[in-house]
Structure 1
Amino acid sequence: MSFAARLKKLREEHRMTQEDLANYLKITRQAVGNYEQGSRFPKDENILNALADLFNVSLDYLLGREEKIPSPSSIDYILEAGNTYEDDKYTALKQLLSSVDDLPVDIIQKLNEIINFFRTYK
């Protein structure tokens, strides 16, 4: 899938209009439309980084170098490598993650943000 197709798909999954995305990126709606049509590509790496951050995907996925988007509810996605958790914490997180699998992506991403927020206050 091309960058243009992925961008449009991600924007629609997040229930954003081209105008919403343009305002977020501080560019014109026409520029977003051109990106989605494949007639233009962002020249500014800040735009690419902002898109990856907004949609919570890797640049490799956004640029088509990775075919699979990591599941926001997968244990590896939420638990950073190198962290060690007691068995009871790990089990609790696995139960939490399995219970949110059917939620919309934007809700799962909000939950991930909350987890990351509390992770900073160990």
Structure 2
Amino acid sequence: LRIHPLQYLMVGLALAIFFLLLISLSEHITFWKAYLVSAVACIGLQAVYLAHVLGHWKRGLGFAAMLTLLYGALYGLLVSENNALLMGSLLLFVILALAMWVTRRVDWYALGADLK
């Protein structure tokens, strides 16, 4: 599917606004409630938007499910103050290992040549 860079920008801004909402709401309500409201609002916004951009509601819900897992993992890291660095490092290592495993047979030079 072709996605315009402006659409990528809007999704990226929605991801960034999550943190702004979280910080501003947590000044007025407890952290877990602020996190929940911010996450639900941003995930819902992106699910609806991406369902239209990607041409099907299942694709929007798939992205929303992945984002829910990501925000869930991030919440777990944030509330475990003593182990946050260790858990975050291990999570990033696992994500990098998975990305390397999935793309191990991709010929990046051939991929770039197809674009010319």
Query: TM-score, normalized by length of structure 2?
Result: 0.30
Instruction: Report the structure, 1 or 2, having the larger helix content.
Output: 2
Structure with the larger RCO, 1 or 2 (CA within 8 Å, 6+ apart):
1
Query: TM-score, normalized by length of structure 1?
Result: 0.29
- For the pair shown, which has the larger CA radius of gyration, 1 or 2? 2
